[in-house]
Amino acid sequence: MSKTVPVQKNDFIEVMFEDLTHDGAGVAKIEGYPLFVANGLPGEKAKIKVTKVGKGYGFGRLIELVEKSPYRVDAPCPIYKECGGCQLQHLSYQGQMVAKEKQVREVLTRIGKLEDVLVHPVLGMEEPWRYRNKSQVPIGEHEGGLIGGFYQQRSHQIINMESCLIQQEKNDEVVQVVKEICSRYGVRAYNEVEHKGLLRHIMVRYGLVTGEVMVVLVTRTNDLPNRQKLVAEIVERIDGLKSLVININNKKTNVIMGDETQVLWGQDVIYDYIGEIKFAISARSFYQVNPEQTKVLYDKALEYADLSGEETVIDAYCGIGTISLFLAKTSKKVYGVEIVPEAIEDAKRNALLNEIENAEFAVGEAETVIPRWYEAGIKADVLVVDPPRKGCDEALLRTILAMKPKRVVYVSCNPATLARDLRILEDGGYKTIEVQPVDMFPQTMHCEAVARIELRE
């Protein structure tokens, strides 16, 4: 081991951190060998203990900071070190913006070989706390009562949490009330080892503009004790409640939601707005968790689409139609495609809700439906993609290159796959003009970005 790796397990060494990993650990290099150390920040010198050594990289534990980063702050959350929900509370918000811009620039250069693309400074939040409009809290038991919170890092141990600094305060308040009522009416927490018990998760959705609240009880069976009393008390005690739903998930799985959803009280959706567009949000709808920054992101996508009102636009991975409906306001026709049938039902409902008649939605894989449209003579002037973390499917990228829309707007939640896909588009005759990172998830390492891509003459 010592011939190839310059450190040994249990060594005490002094290091300089030069970067952050995608989960917020500091990266130090010893003769080119990377060591990942939780709580280290770029520019800091520290004494560490080497805890694990592999062929290509190792891990260490921070023992003492010798030189601190000017961006280091005390994390305001009391359970920050135990909880796995955030990674960057010990880095000031200004420092987070610097790290995220660097992350986007570096992957564009390293993975995409894109040296001359204009990368703008990150668009951040004025108030980078209390932004999440959806809370999904795993439920456990402690000393006879229900507890709920985040899982401890790299474990399934639940850290009980009364307040989360990146959740809307309303969500925290609702989770506490529901937990207390369920506890009192004898609802037992689900035990994932024995596959017994009932309540797996409490999910709360909150409409930031409308103030409407949805509560979803995710349970193993439909057998809710004291159902009528429990429902009546939840309805009485939660202001703004419009929807109370039970979702049954009887599988041994760490997937949160099951396939069956029943309304216990109220309606099956709540409503909220992004800009002037109204959205119906069901228990299983995908809806952006930071609506304030979603508006920033979509405004940028709209600017890069540069629509005059005469264009045909295709929105691949359209979800519940969020971007499509923004695009429809300033284009001739929008076609949206999405693999999740419920999302397409939501998209159609949202188009009707906003009296938008020039948007059409189809269920299926973007990489199958769009080539079919192309063969049928539907050709996009502008194509918008907002793929999952794994990026665009190769077949879709080939179709884009064959269809040759004048502009492609790429909305990305993973800079690494964005860089990979931009390289393919560049090699196929496109030019990446500019990239705008947007901070949708303050206090975490996640960074979204929008790229403006144009067909070369």
CA 227 to each of CA 40, 181, 191, 286, 348: distance values in angstroms, whole numbers, following the listed order:
49, 11, 21, 28, 34
Report which of 171, 345, 372, 361 is spatially closest to residue 269, judged by C-alpha positions. Answer: 345
| β-bridge mates for residue 335, sequence order | 314, 360
How does DSSP assign 62-130, residue by residue? EEEEEE--TTB---S-TTTTTBSS-S-TTB-HHHHHHHHHHHHHHHHHHTT---S-EEPPPB--SS-SS
H or E segment and range at residue 417 = helix 415-427
Known active-site residue 413: yes
Out of 77, 83, 86, 413, the active site residue is 413
Beta strands in 238-371 (DSSP E): 241-248, 260-266, 269-274, 277-282, 312-316, 333-338, 359-363
Beta strands in 296-368 (DSSP E): 312-316, 333-338, 359-363
For residues 358-386, b (16+ Cβ closer than 10 Å) or e, as one string? ebbbbeeebbebbbebbeeeeebbbbbbb
Cα(130)–Cα(163) distance, integer angstroms: 10
Active site residues: 413
